[in-house]
Amino acid sequence: MKFWVITARYAYSGVPLAQLRLARALAKRGNEVDFFIGTVNSGYKLPSERLLKVINFEKERVIEMIMPLIRRFRSERPDVVLVAGDHLSAVTLLAALISGSNAKISCSSRVTPFDTYSNIPFTKRWILKYMMRILMYRANALTCVSEDMVLQYSRIFKSAHYVPLYNVVVDQYSESLMNEDVNEEWFLDKSTPILIAAGALEAWKGFFDLLLAMRELVKVRKLRLIILGDGTQRQILQEFINNFNLGHAVKLLGYVDNPLKYFKRADIFVLSSYVEGLPNVLVEAMMCECTPVATDCPTGPREVLQGGKYGYLVPVGNPIALMNGIEMAIKYPISKEKLNEAINPFTETEVIKRHFKLLEISG
């Protein structure tokens, strides 16, 4: 069977990585798989893959992908197309209609519709909403990465039938990344618990709340925090660390191309976000046996942690609650068995099984 897996941009981040994992999993099962990328973000290289073909359209804007897609729909005739992101879904559906393709198409929404669509007439987000209303009938499956997000989409598109479908997070390739060497001295001291957090250094990730929690925690116990990622707030976060003399306990390591090897050597993963789609990084950290502490933000953490069964949920924007959640995680870590149980829905086997069921295909 011939599959296309499509993403707008390639970088080491949630959507493109999830799509690449999905493409790899399909190829491992003997399918012919093309992995289409709109463009590769600056500083990243096109992934080199043995089992699948990687095609870079070199198009900065999603709308510019329509003509290459139309041409390929006509010449290559895929059986199944799996696309992520609402802008790209609209372009792919339109390309399929123009080309007369009979491919089964699954469109996955990855962020809240309230950030994607607008009720203000003739804005880009308003036009996109009406485009999707017109085109979505062509999709064989409309999915969201969390159950809460399905409810949000049902408010925007009342007649559409969205269903939850998780990303592939747990695969063999990820397991190999966990075992790579780490050159970070803090991991050598096994007597000191290490907290880890990761993501764009932006306001919505809530890292200031995490630093405020750390400021209080280091007064009563010895522990360390490593934050992976880069962004516009890096300088002011570092200034906070310097001003409150937290350099002995907090490090900003910046962007790393393999966060899994750091997760594997940490004890607790902290997600301090104000909003998420479904945080793959939370599942990745649990795969690496970190005890999770997460804000109960929309959407995803409550669903991943099953209301607190598999980790510690705390209110959003509350550094004291975050501190208390970390204390609980130190005292009562989540067992490896429970973490494995929690991440099972995100394994390639389970996700592909769900895809095939929705699309009514076998393989």
Q: What confidence tens digit (pLDDT) does each residue in 238-256 have?
A: 999 999 999 999 999 999 9
pLDDT digits (tens, 9 = 90+) for 292-347: 999 999 989 999 999 999 999 999 999 999 999 999 999 999 999 999 999 999 99
Residue 76 and residue 225 in one domain? no
Residues 323 and 281 in one domain: yes
233 and 307 both lie in a single domain: yes
Q: Which residues contact 294 (CB under 8 A, 6 or more apart)?
A: 270, 271, 273, 279, 282, 301, 304, 305, 311, 312, 313, 314
pTM of the predicted model, to two decimals? 0.88
Question: CA torsion, points 14, 167, 273, 195, in degrees to nearest 10?
Answer: -80
Tokens (6 digits) for 93: 């559906």
Express each pLDDT in 70-116 by its tens digit. Answer: 999 999 999 999 999 999 999 999 999 999 999 999 999 998 899 89
Instruction: Find where tokens 């086997």 sit.
Output: 349
Give CA separation, 138 vs 78, 93, 126, in Å: 15, 6, 20
354 with 311, same domain: the answer is no
Domain match, 28 and 133 both = yes
CATH number at residue 180: 3.40.50.2000
| 251 and 183 inside one domain | yes
> In terms of domains, do 126 and 187 share one?
no
Query: Could you give the number of structural domains in the chain?
Result: 2
Whether residue 356 is predicted with pLDDT greater than 90 in this model: the reply is: yes
pLDDT at 180 over 90: yes
Q: Are 20 and 44 in contact (CB under 8 A)?
A: no
CA distance linking residue 136 with residue 130, whole number of Å: 10
Q: Which of 278, 261, 270, 113 is nearest to 183 (CA)?
A: 261
Q: Is 214 in a helix, a strand, or coil?
A: helix
pLDDT at 188 exceeding the cut of 90? no
The parent domain of residue 74 ranges over: 2-168+347-359
Continuous segment of H or E residues that includes residue 80: strand 80-84
Q: Please check whether residues 112 and 258 belong to one and the same domain.
A: no
Q: Which of 33-42, 89-98, 115-124 has the highest mean pLDDT?
A: 89-98
Q: Are residues 151 and 185 in the same domain?
A: no
pLDDT at 363 over 70: no
Question: In whole angstroms, what is the distance from residue 206 CA to residue 210 CA?
Answer: 7
Domain identity same for 129 and 181: no
**What 3-state class would DSSP assign to 278?**
coil
Query: Do residues 329 and 186 share a domain?
Result: yes
pLDDT exceeds 90 at position 150: yes
Is the domain of 183 the same as that of 247? yes
Residue 128 reports pLDDT greater than 80: yes
Which pLDDT value is given to residue 43? 77
